[in-house]
A and B are shown apart, each in its own frame.
Chain A
Amino acid sequence: MSRVALVGIGSTQYRPETSEKNFKELMYEAASRAYIDAGIEPRKDLDCVITASEDLWEGLAIFDEYVPDQLGGVLKPVFTVGGDGLHGIIHAYMLIKTGYFDLVAVEAHSKASEIETLQKIYHFAMDPLYIRPVVDNPYALAALEMMNIMRLLDITFDMLDMTIMKNHLNALEWGSPYARIYDYDNLESSEYVAQPLREVDIAPHVDGATVAVLASEEKAKELTDEPIWIEGVGWATQGGRIERNLHNFPVSLNTAGNMAYDMAGIENPMAELDFAEVDDRFSFRELASLAMLRLDGGDLMEMVVNGVYTLDGDFPVNTGGGFLGNGYPLEAGGMMKLLHAVKQLRGEAGFNQLDNPEKALVAVRREVPSNSYAVVILAR
């Protein structure tokens, strides 16, 4: 059966505010870039358009209504995934695998800066019977999770600090407005928001949009000599009850990862992959992701302390600077990471460029309080 390739990607910059454009113009900017990158005429060529979003991030009930025009999808099969952009990529992958679809575009974006009452949206995501009447701050849930993960995986604040410094440093190349050159003193003076979660452990919100174009093998070969192949995908949720997940390992990331590894024929991920872009919405999540994706070499602390995950290390992680360095664009999170990975694989990562990487993993988890994961494995 046909392989699936990524043949185009386009993005706006990710910035704390994008007041010069409305969300449609932002989506259009990313889409035009992606279509030019892929060398396609969307009105003629596209078979399907997928967006990833949730209504309340947008200010519209049934956001799906407002997407076809600016993505070139009018009177075509278009739909929305209530998930991260990476879930959108997975659906596109499946559609192409059915054999009926040749070219599918996937879009995700964030206009977080235009939401005045962001906290209430997070509050509204909590279980209405047992959690919402008691807790109103999503960082409280993240902090409980952090305490659990630090205990289960023996993570220390030093390890978190090294992760934060690394990601900020990597983000400098991307011109991120959030990227800082931190030292330990800076980090030590960071205040608790929700103990043990500090200000520096949290990725701030950011606006932006990214569009990717996926193609069947046949179509990809028509369009480009250098497609990025999608070798494996995996996704899973750990279930809806946070209470159950709070005292456990995030095993579903392991499930999603293994699904993708199996598909890609990967047995020893750390040896077979060249780098990874993983979830770092909160600093501890990067380390948890690495452990769950079998990218910790058996000893997470040793890896972090020895700088294995830095750009110069044996297994660079979040080479684009991740969410900590670039900001967290809501459902576009996975798309931002995908963009960073594709740039690396294409040799377009500038100062951050790794030496000839061939295989990469992108993994993301949806925003608090969800427990949903998506994993994609890319190869040149």
Chain B
Amino acid sequence: MKKEFRFKIDVPKYVYPVGRGGEKFAEGLKKEVLYAAYCETCDNYMMPPTAYCPRCFSEIKEYKKVTHAYLDLYTVIWKDFNGKDLDEPIVYGFIRFEVDDRDVEGGLIHKLKVDDPSKLVLGVPVEPRFKPAKERKGVITDIEHFELKLE
């Protein structure tokens, strides 16, 4: 007797427009800068930049260039989701930012290029490595990865 039934849920394609907040982010990527959203009412910077402040609901009018980026958290992925060893470990960093010495709330999760993950220290300055201008599409993958900033 048939015991199992295999089937799928498929949707050929999804597209997600970047929205109002994402448009500003895209503008920055073009110029190789990262913008943080600034909520005047709450006096608070936010990354990724949003179109509105989720706390006070006012519209974001100002986006400011981040002036400093540092590694706040990281993880080294050794196995895939199903427990199989990866050929090469993948390192993800959680990058946080500052705007003129002010903390930015949130940050970006991205790939981190590093030679020896065991030597990583939290707090080290990092910088984004952008794809060549021609290949950029105005989204997060325009950044190839973050890497340690050489002083």
Whether the Cβ atoms of A129 and B92 lie closer than 8 Å is no
The yes or no answer to A196 lying at the interface (CB within 8 A) is yes
Cβ contact within 8 Å between B76 and A192: yes
A131 interface residue, CB < 8 Å from B?
yes
CA distance A247 to B72 in the complex (A): 8
Residue A138 at the chain B interface, CB threshold 8 Å: yes
Contact of A129 among B22, B46, B82, B96 (CB under 8 A): B22
Which chain B residue lies CB-closest to A247? Answer: B72
B107 interface residue (CB < 8 Å to A): yes
Minimum C-beta distance from A193 to chain B (A): 5
Q: Are B74 and A244 in contact (CB under 8 A)?
A: no
Residues of chain A with a CB closer than 8 A to B107's CB: 243, 246-247
Q: Which residue of the partner chain, among B3, B9, B78, contacts A192 with CB atoms under 8 Å?
A: B78
Which positions 3-53 of chain A face chain B at CB distance < 8 Å?
19
Kindly list chain A residues whose C-beta atoms are within 8 Å of the C-beta of B92: 134-135, 140, 144
**Known A129-B18, A137-B80, A246-B94; contact A197-B109, beta-carbon cutoff 8 A:** no
| Interface size class, chain A | 35 or more
Q: Is A191 an interface residue (CB 8 A)?
A: yes
B93 and chain A: residue at smallest CB distance: A144
Contacts of A301 in B (CB 8 A): none
Alpha-carbon gap, A118 to B96, bound state (A): 30
Q: Give the complex CA separation of A29 and B95 in angstroms.
A: 48
* Count of residues in B whose CB is under 8 Å from the partner chain: 42
Report chain B residues within 8 Å CB of A193: 77-79, 83
* Given contact pairs A191-B79, A193-B79, A247 touches B73 in the complex (Cβ within 8 A): yes
Given the complex of chains A and B, what is the CA–CA distance between A119 and B84 in angstroms?
13
**What residues on B are CB-neighbors of A131 within 8 Å?**
109
Taking A194-B75, A244-B46 as contacts, is the C-beta distance between A134 and B3 under 8 angstroms? no
B94 touches A247 (CB 8 A): yes
Contacts of B81 in A (CB 8 A): 118-119, 122, 137-139
Within 8 Å of chain B (Cβ to Cβ): is A128? yes
* Interface check A99, CB cutoff 8 A: no
Q: Are B78 and A56 in contact (CB under 8 A)?
A: no
Give the nearest-CB partner of B47 in chain A.
Answer: A243
Q: Does A241 contact B (CB under 8 A)?
A: yes
Q: Assuming the A-B contacts A19-B3, A61-B9, are A196 and B75 also in contact, with contact meaning beta carbons closer than 8 angstroms in the complex?
A: yes
Q: Is the CB of B9 within 8 A of A137?
A: no
Q: Given A56-B9, A130-B48, A133-B139, is A243 in contact with B106 using a C-beta cutoff of 8 Å?
A: yes
Query: When the two chains form their complex, are residues A195 and B75 in contact, meaning their CB atoms are under 8 A apart?
Result: yes
B82–chain A nearest beta-carbon distance, Å: 7
Chain A 55-82 residues near chain B, CB threshold 8 A? 56, 59, 61
Q: A191 touching B78 by the CB < 8 A rule?
A: yes
Beta-carbon contacts of B99-112 to A below 8 Å, as 1s and 0s? 00000011111110
In the complex, the answer to whether A59 meets B94 with C-beta atoms within 8 Å is no
With A19-B3, A243-B107 known to touch, is A130 a contact of B140 (CB < 8 Å)? Answer: yes
Is residue A303 contacting chain B, with contact meaning CB distance below 8 A? Answer: no
Docked CA distance A133–B18 (Å): 13
Measured in the bound complex, the distance between the Cα atoms of B74 and A129 in whole Å is 20
Q: Mark out the residues of chain A between 224 and 248 whose CB falls within 8 Å of any chain B CB in the assembled complex.
A: 239, 241-244, 246-247
List chain A residues, Cβ under 8 A from B12.
none
A143: CB under 8 A from chain B? yes
Contact of A241 among B9, B106, B110 (CB under 8 A): B106
In the bound complex, CA of A122 to CA of B22 (Å): 23
Report which residue of B4, B72, B75 has the largest number of chain A beta carbons within 10 angstroms of its beta carbon: B75
Q: Mark B57-84, 1 if CB is under 8 A from A, else 0.
A: 0000000000000001111111111110
Residues of chain B contacted by A353 (CB below 8 angstroms):
none
* Residues of chain A within 8 A of B141, CB atoms compared: 133-134
- Contact A143:B75 (CB < 8 A) given known A19-B3, A119-B81, A137-B81: yes
Residue-wise, chain B 122-151 has the 8 Å CB interface mask toward A (1 for contact) of: 100000000000000001110000000000
Q: Assess A144 versus B73: contact at CB under 8 Å? Given A243-B108, A244-B106.
A: yes
For the complex, give the distance between the alpha carbons of A141 and B109 in Å: 9
A interface, CB within 8 angstroms of B:
19, 56, 59, 61, 116, 118-119, 122, 128-131, 133-135, 137-141, 143-144, 147-148, 151, 191-197, 199, 239, 241-244, 246-247
Known contacts A134-B110, A139-B81, A144-B94; 19 additional CB pairs below 8 A are A56-B9, A59-B9, A129-B140, A130-B108, A130-B140, A134-B109, A134-B140, A137-B81, A144-B73, A144-B92, A147-B73, A193-B77, A193-B83, A194-B76, A197-B75, A239-B54, A243-B47, A243-B107, A246-B109
The 4 closest A-B pairs by CB, nearest first: A143-B75, A243-B106, A119-B81, A195-B76
